[in-house]
Amino acid sequence: MKACGNQEAKVAVRVPTRIDLAGGTVDIWPLYLFHPGAITINAAINLWVWVRLARLPHRGISLVDAKRGRLGFWRSLKEMRGHRGTELFCTALEHFPVQGGLAIEAFSQGPRGAGLAGSSALLVALCASLMRLNGQRLARERFVFLIRDLETRLIRVPAGFQDYYPAIWGGVQALRWEPGRVRRTRLKIRQKELEKHLLLVYTGLSRYSGTNNWEVFKGYIDGNRKIRNVANEIVEASREMFIALEKGDFWQAGRAMAREARARKRLFPGIATPDILELERFLVRRGAIAVKVCGAGGGGCVLVYAEPERRAAFAEGIRQKGFHVLPFRITNCGLTFGSWESEHPWSPLPTGNPFGKSDRRRATEADSRP
């Protein structure tokens, strides 16, 4: 990552989150090496993550979460370490140190722990903005490997690889996991037609992906035959979805998602919670094609695949069950540097007294706009 000599005083970055359509878990190195032809399919969505950085006229680090308010001000990175909610920011700042004072403000439209790769998207946005602030060039193909390693350092278990690609490039993509490289293919499909089949449902229960992924990873490496067989079925279902999407066969794509979802539930007991299983039974009895947990499961969001004409009825039933339907659109926009003044849904960064009162902000309905 070479310096380009143009350090900036203010930086704004926006990245999308994602829905995973098929092939999760096998994106963890080295699991995909044991399944030649393994493929993961996901789509970037317009539940955005924003990061803004500004150099301060005094030393220290100011950190504001636009949903939770000011997390704190610290005179140094050493002082910042160990404070709850700062771990991700410390990991990025340790690798990309900034001379002088720094104000950081972050905002995420999606719920916390939703299985939409919000933390990965935040790490992408933060590291990209730090590089721009420091005058470093960002080579995206190399950057994705760096983010994987930093997130592994952060969560202290092997990190899945798929989340960074939609955040950086956007779109609907197939990721082929091959020895020595990842082959990324942008799928040229009718995105609006795919959207018509999908509902994104938040269960209201936050989750932590590292726990389920680690249990599955350990079981696989230890030779658990059930986990290995299930992983193989996930790979086969993902290939079926890839073929169906390339042909524009959205019915068959839904059937492939259903097969993947059934296999995923058998990976680890905590992947599908009792609430998710109840929701699945409710929707399948009414004709849903697939109900799939997002990310590593254990709560967060589920993705429902249905015939377009039934989506409205399903959405109403889901709300009556006490769950939340999250509006979204698939977006072709990945990592984007924007105007510091306009690429955000919140008020200006604090640059005055760093020990001022907490400035709490809440997301509004306007924040759901792309």
**Which DSSP string do the residues of 286-318 spell out, in sequence order?**
TT-SEEEE-TT-SSSEEEEE--GGGHHHHHHHH
pLDDT tens-place string over residues 186-208: 999 999 999 999 999 999 876 55
Residue 295 pLDDT level (bands cut at 50, 70, 90): confident
Q: Mean pLDDT, to the nearest integer, of 35-62?
A: 96
Q: Would you tell me the crossing angle of helices 118-134 and 140-155 to the nearest 10 degrees?
A: 120
- Asked if residue 14 has pLDDT above 90, the reply is yes
> Residue 67 and residue 251: Cα distance in Å, rounded?
39
When the pLDDT of each residue in the chain is averaged and rounded to a whole number, the result is 87
Q: Which amino acid type is present at position 249?
A: D
> Residue 351 and residue 90: Cα distance in Å, rounded?
20
What the block records as the tokens of 97 is 């140190």
Residue with tokens 């499909």: 189
Residue 263 pLDDT level (bands cut at 50, 70, 90): very high
> Residue 125 and residue 73: Cα distance in Å, rounded?
21
What the block records as the tokens of 298 is 């254990």
pLDDT tens-place string over residues 178-191: 999 999 999 999 99
8 Å CB contact between 328 and 18: no
8 Å CB contact between 65 and 85: yes
Q: What is the bridge-based pairing of β-strands 324-325 and 101-108? A: unpaired
pLDDT number for residue 340:
61
Residue 365 pLDDT level (bands cut at 50, 70, 90): very low
pLDDT tens-place string over residues 310-363: 999 999 999 999 999 999 999 999 999 987 665 555 444 443 322 233 322 222
What the block records as the tokens of 224 is 């658990």
Q: Mean pLDDT, to the nearest integer, of 137-142?
A: 94
Fold of 10-368: Ribosomal Protein S5; domain 2 (3.30.230)
pLDDT number for residue 342:
55
pLDDT number for residue 113:
85
Q: Say how many CA atoms lie within 13 Å of 358 toward its Cβ.
A: 11
368 exposure class (CB count in 10 Å sphere: 0-12, 13-18, 19+) = middle
- Assign 266 to helix, strand or coil: coil
- Asked if residue 368 has pLDDT above 50, the reply is no
